Amino acid sequence: MAKRNMNYFGCLKGEKLNELSAEQRLKHFKTKKLFVTTRVLNLPSNTPINLLDANNFKVRLESSKELLDTYYKFLIHTYQEYINNVFINFFHQFNNQIIGLKKKEAKMVGRVLYVSIINNKTSPNFDFVHMVENANGIPKLENTPKLELYYVKRDALKQRAINEHPNGLDEFLLGNSNHFDLKIKDDVAIFKEIIQFEGELKIILALNDEYQFEKNKTFQSPTIDNTNIEKPNLSVNSKAFKNKIPTEEEMDAYLMKHVFSENK
């Protein structure tokens, strides 16, 4: 089966999308196979439902998975410098805090910050759990690793990027890269959230790779086409990382209580 062309940037170049009504725009996107028809089950409360009855389903148009993925990769590509600055700003401070510490001590510092990030407002605000049994049939409840929840949230961000700033998708399809200039990233809330989310994701992936806090079986960073892309000028002066990193005094107190006391 032939692979679909997923180079969506500029695929509607020259068309006058701004002259279309919202309904006409969706129909046009469907014709171009950018949006697809999906059927959503309408679940009534406390009432048996007949899955064979078409009236129990709502039909709606949604962007295709390929378009969602490609547009999100474009946004990451466009704002990569700012995503990287979130990462750099964090590790510039973190590396200064673990100077002279042993691996175990540095891991304790890393864990404090890892937990701080995965519990902040940018992180997934939901949990998945499942029941397992050991060889003796004793039940145990396990939480899904936080890193896997980031994968779920990223999928939600892909859809929100279109829902919360539909004009951005139009400009992407028209091939207008100027729309995504430096100013709009501060004006469009979902773009700011994506930058912070992806920067913090890079941080926790790096911390987890170094210190093995959680098993990470499913998460993969998006593949970004770096062809003909100039490397951004990265700066440690960026204040993009919004979480408060503990002061040296706070970390010293933490280490004395939780690490060095155990070595006595």
Going by C-alpha positions, the residue among 194, 192, 221, 191 that lies closest to residue 205 is 221
What pLDDT band is residue 213 in, cutting at 50, 70 and 90? very high
The model's pLDDT over 98-137, given as tens digits with 9 standing for 90+, comes to: 999 999 999 999 999 998 898 887 677 666 666 778 788 8
Q: How far is CA 39 from CA 29, 48, 54, 225, in A?
A: 17, 19, 9, 33
Q: With contact defined as beta carbons under 8 Å apart, do 81 and 236 qualify? A: no
User: Containing H/E element for 129?
Assistant: strand 129-133
Going by C-alpha positions, the residue among 10, 44, 15, 9 that lies closest to residue 28 is 15
* Residue owning tokens 């990382």: 241
For the cut 50, the answer to whether the pLDDT of residue 177 exceeds it is yes
Looking at per-residue confidence, does 140 or 4 come out higher?
140
